[in-house]
Structure 1
Amino acid sequence: MKTKQDIQKRIRQERSAVLVVNTHSRRGEQLFFAAMDELAKRGVHVAASYPVRDPARLSEAVREGIERGHALVIVGGGDGTISSIVDYFAYRDVVLGILPLGTGNSFARTLGIPLSLNGALDVIVNGKVVDIDLGKVNDDYFANVASLGFSADIARQTPRSLKRYLGVVAYVLVGVWNLLERQAFRCRLELDGETHVLRTHQIIIANGSFFGVTKLAPDAQVNNRQFIVFTMDTVSRWQMAKLWVAFWLGRHRAFSEARYFATREVTIDAVPPQYIDVDGETTTRTPVRITLAAEALKVLAPVTFEDE
C-alpha cells in the first residue's frame, strides 16, 4: 500500500474525483447538484457521479467508482451509508471523502468534518489524508459504532420516512414508546480474553468518539488502535432512562452504572439474542465477534485532526 503522503500528493495533482451520493438520505437529494457545482468552483473535476436513491445500489455504485481508478471517491450520506461502503476502501490505495448528509453524522463528528456542505467540501479540497481504524462485526467492516439493546431496538424500529422528516426527534419518539415495555437482557462479554457477565439495557462498542451527537468518552478515538466498550449496568428501565438523558446531555460519566472498558476484540452473547446496530443499520444478531482493523481506512480529515 502507498503511504498517505503519496496518496495526498496524487489527489492534489489529479484534482478529480468520483462522487457517490445517497439521495435517499435526509439531505442527499437536494444537495447532490449543489455538491457538483461547488466542487467545480473549487477546481475539482467530477469524473463520474452517481446519485443513488435506492440504498441497495450504494455498494454497486461505490465499487464502480473505485474501479475507475481515481485516488479520491467522495461519498455523501449518513452513518449507515458510510459504514455500508467502507469494505470497498479497507486496505486499498483509495481515499474516502465524506459529505455528511444523514441524521446523526457521528462519524463525521468524530473526524471533525463540518456538517455544512461548504465546510465538508473545504475539507475535501484542503484537508489531509489520515489513516484510521475500522471495526469488524464478524467479517463486515464498520466505521464508528456497533451497539445492542435499547439504541439498537430504536434504530431498527424507527421508519426511514420518519427519520427523513423529523431527524433526531424521530428516535426520541420511538425511544419513549420502546421504554414502556423494555426488559433488561443477560450478556456475556469477552474483552481481550477477559470475561464479564452482566444484566443491562445497553452496550456500545465504539471505534469513533461520537454516538449520535454525544461524545462517548474522552479517550474514544478513531485512530488509537482500541475500542471503547460502554455499558449501562442497571436492570431498571427508569434508571436506564435517567442514564440516557444524562448521556445525551454529556453527563453520563457521573453515574456509577456507566462503565467503560478498552479492548481490541469483543465477543458478545446475550439471552435473549439481541439485534446488533452498526452505524444506524441493523445487520445481525448475537452471538457476534467484533475485532479491530488498525489503520484500515484512508480518509480526508481537517488539517487540525490529530493523527500519528
Structure 2
Amino acid sequence: MYKTAMLIYNGNAGQKQMDKILAQIIGPLSLAIPNLTLLQTQKPGDAEHFCRQHGEEVELVIALGGDGTVHECINGLSPLDKRPIFSVIPSGTCNDFARALDIPLNIKQAAMLISEEGIEEEVDIVQTNDQYFGNFWGTGLIAEASLNIDEQSKGVFGRLSYYVSAIKSMTAQDRFSFEMEVDGETLKDEAVMVLALNGRFIGATEFPLSSIQLNDGKIDVMVIKEAGFPLFKEILSAKATVDWEKDKSTIDHFQASSLKISTSSKRYIDLDGEHYEGKDHSMTVLPGHLNVVKGNRG
C-alpha cells in the first residue's frame, strides 16, 4: 500500500514497554511497507524536527505515542509543501486525536489500519500564530486544570486525573476579560474558559456537540462564562446528551473559519494537551490540510 514510511516513537516511554509494543507492530508494518524507517525521540521537539526534515521524503508518517507525539508531528508536517499521509498508533493516556479518527486503541488493530483496513481522509488543521493543532485550543479553566495534573496519577487513573483537576480548579477559577473578532464582528466579554474545538474529544471524553467535525472547514468556539455550572459537570460525566439551550446563559457557542482573541493579560494555553503562554492569538482553519489514515467506522 505504501512504499516508504517513517515511524516516530517516544524514546522517553518505558523501554521494556516500548519494546513490547514495537515487537507487536513492526512485523505487520514491515510486510506492508518495504521501506520502513524507525526514529526514536530523545527530547521534546524531536518528533516535530523529524517531520520537518524528512516528511517530504516518505509517503507515510506514523506517530506511535500519545497526544504529545501527535501534536509535534502535526506541527512538523503542517508547514510542508508536500505533506505525506499521516497515521497514529495510539499508546498514550488519552489519545484524543486517534479517538477522533476512529482509530482503535488496541495497537495491533491500529497497525492493521495502516497495512490493510484503514481509509484515507483529508482533515482540517488549525494554525494559531506559529503553531498548529488538530484537536483543540483552550485557555482558562482547561489550561489551569491540565497544568495541575499530577503526572503519576495521570499514568494510573488516565482521564480521571483531568477531571479531578478540573473540578478542583472550578471552585477557584477567576474570570478573565477578552476581546474576540469573528467574521468581522467584535465580542468583548468575560469568561472562565474559552475553547476552540476541531476534534470532538478532550481528556478521552467526547464533547457532546454534533456540529464538531474534523472536515467541515470550521472550529466550534465555546465561551464558558461561569465556573461550576452544570453543563461542564455533565460533560465530565461523559453524558451522551447535553441540554445546550438550558445553559445558554452561561455559555456561548458559534462556529468560525478564523478568529482572533486577545486576553487582558498573558494566560496559559492548552494546545492539544501541550502548554504555551500568550496574550494575542489568531486562528485560521486550513481545510483538508492533512491526509490521514482513519478507522472505517461511520
Structure 2: how far apart are the matches of 1:297 and 1:238?
37
Gapped runs of 5+ residues in structure 1?
Answer: 1-11
3-state SS of 1:183 partner: coil
Displacement of 1:155 in angstroms is 1.6
3-state SS of 1:81 partner: helix
2:84 match: 94
State which of 256, 259, 264 in structure 1 corresponds to 2:252: 259
Structure 2: how far apart are the matches of 1:109 and 1:244?
20
State which of 218, 226, 232 in structure 1 corresponds to 2:224: 232
- 1:146 equivalent to 2:134? Answer no
Q: What is the count of residue pairs matched by the alignment? A: 287
3-state SS of 2:97 partner: helix
Distance 1:21 1:244, change over 3 A: same
Amino acid at match of 1:230: M
2:161 match: 170
Structure 2: how far apart are the matches of 1:278 and 1:302?
24
3-state SS of 2:172 partner: coil
3-state SS of 2:58 partner: coil
Structure 2: how far apart are the matches of 1:13 and 1:31?
21
Structure 2: how far apart are the matches of 1:163 and 1:65?
32
State which of 63, 71, 81 in structure 2 corresponds to 1:75: 63
Gapped runs of 5+ residues in structure 2?
Answer: none
2:212 match: 220
Structure 2: how far apart are the matches of 1:187 and 1:154?
19
3-state SS of 1:274 partner: strand
**1:19-56 Cα distance to aligned partner (Å, 9 max, x none):** 1112446997352332223424x533462112325333
1:9 match: none
Question: What TM-score, normalized by structure 1, do the two folds share?
Answer: 0.83
Displacement of 1:275 in angstroms is 1.4
Distance 1:272 1:208, change over 3 A: same
2:38 match: 49
Structure 2: how far apart are the matches of 1:26 and 1:151?
28
Structure 1: how far apart are the matches of 2:164 and 2:83?
42
1:3 match: none
Identity of aligned residues (%): 23
2:288 match: 295
CA contact (8 A) 1:210 1:216 kept: no
Question: What TM-score, normalized by structure 2, do the two folds share?
Answer: 0.86
Amino acid at match of 2:177: R
